[in-house]
Structure 1
């Protein structure tokens, strides 16, 4: 069997005011599985985490469908109290790749667990407290949208002040989560990309998102 060939992609997050920078290097594999390479949404979400790193400091972070885990790795590097990365429970290679991406950036204290949308697995049921949920491009296939909100709703029930930070690539005007937000009693704020320096074609010097249209969303429970 031919050995997998890894490539690396470097991301440089830079604060013009303080001149602080963060370098993250992600190993990628040319594999048909979605979780082995960085998608255009991930650098945008990671830039949001970097830009608002003071909000991340000391918080408990969960990244869902992490893949190469760029946003979660940035959160860990920005002094989050804890970071948990998750991938589909039936994709052990993706889970292993999450571990490899963390190790490649000197992170040994990041938990990697299996969570599948809509499935009440022991890993989901026994989640520690969560302050912020991260996900990049989770709203990809509309058949998964209901399951995504089932999982989110369960986590929010246990963590009522939790926020869900996600990026979404617009591929079709026919796809919308507005009705699901209403059904599950969530509210959504659209965050302008220019407000966190992510409105260019090459966020974190990555050549992503290129010409793709990305939206940044912050989702929380409606206040009663």
Structure 2
């Protein structure tokens, strides 16, 4: 198994204004780095690779972060569990874990903020590029739009969704709602263990959730993949705490 970062292309976006245009400020050229990364899974007859389009504009959420690579590897290693499952990825961004889930036979819905159309559009391109069929849905955490009521997942994925503490409450509200829609389902997330750890514990109790499994994110990573990653990353499986709900 090997994770390969490939610089595939560089796109230069230029805004040119006619010197004769009155009342319009001239804009300087702006460069945007566009790359692709290729991620390999398996080394036998069932091996495959996933190609991801990335942008160096981090605010777009179009970059493959270490948590995404770790969660995708976990999906691959647990592929028999994902085959045939109804899977939702929250805050999917580049969608690597969700695409891997689709590759191993899951019925996948990729979601990200409804207010980020450029990310949703890129998710559709990722699916086409990797020859997988996934639903792409705008879903804003803590907002109860009609689409969320139709989602009944077996497995919910989230890579580095525990990033901005201001969004934690809305995230856990959304996760709790989805788990209640499918009481036997599980939320699997890989996250950097930052200073918000106590807030995470508090919100899990608030929303009637509990940790079922906690792993060091690097404990199951092949050495060649782990060598290119850094950070204190944990992978946790979260379920409803039925004792608290009863």
Shorter-chain TM-score category?
0.7 to 0.9
Partner of 1:23: 49
- Contact 2:215–2:235 (Cα < 8 Å) also in 1: yes
Indicate yes or no: 2:175 matched with 1:181: no
Q: Does the CA-based 8 Å contact 2:82-2:105 persist in structure 1?
A: yes
Deviates more, 1:112-121 or 1:168-177: 168-177
The CA distance in 2 between the partners of 1:56 and 1:158, in whole Å, is 19
Asked which structure has the greater RCO (Cα within 8 Å, sep 6+), the reply is 1
Give the structure 2 partner of residue 221 of structure 1: 240
For the aligned residue pairs, the C-alpha RMSD in angstroms reads 2.1
Instruction: Provide Cα deviations, 1:184-214, integer angstroms capped at 9, x if missing partner.
Output: 121112024465x2274734x8x2xx22111
State the partner residue of 1:45. Answer: 71
Give yes or no for the alignment of 1:163 onto 2:186.
yes
> Would the aligned equivalents of 2:67 and 2:190 in 1 still touch at CA under 8 Å?
yes
Q: For residues 180 and 196 of structure 2, what CA distance do their matches in structure 1 show?
A: 31
In 2, Cα distance between the equivalents of 1:42 and 1:32?
14
| Cα deviation code 1:74-132 (max 9, x no counterpart) | 0000011x10000100110010011111111112x2100000110001121232x2100
- Which structure's CA Rg is the greater one? 2
Alignment of 1:76-87 (within 5 A): 76-80=102-106, 82-87=107-112
TM-score, structure 2 as length reference: 0.80
Q: Which residue of 2 aligns with 1:125?
A: 149
Q: What is the CA distance between 1:133 and its match in structure 2? A: 0.2
Runs of 4+ in 1 over 4 A off after TM superposition: none
Write the distance in 1 (CA, Å) between the matches of 2:58 and 2:216.
32
Contact kept? 1:13, 1:23, Cα under 8 Å: yes
List runs of 5+ in structure 2 lacking aligned partners.
1-12, 15-30
Q: Distance in 2 between matches of 1:186 and 1:201?
A: 35
Alpha carbons 1:87, 1:115 under 8 Å: kept: yes
CA 1:173 to 1:124, structure 2 compared with 1: closer, same or farther past 3 Å?
A: closer
1:174 shift after superposition: 6.0
Deviation at 1:14, TM superposition (A): 2.2
Matched pairs, number: 214
For 2:207 and 2:162, how far apart are their aligned partners in 1? Answer: 16
Cα deviation for residue 215 of structure 1 reads: 0.3
Q: Describe the SS at the equivalent of 1:36.
A: coil
| Unaligned 5+ runs, structure 1 | none
Query: Which residue of 141, 146, 149 maps to 2:164?
Result: 141
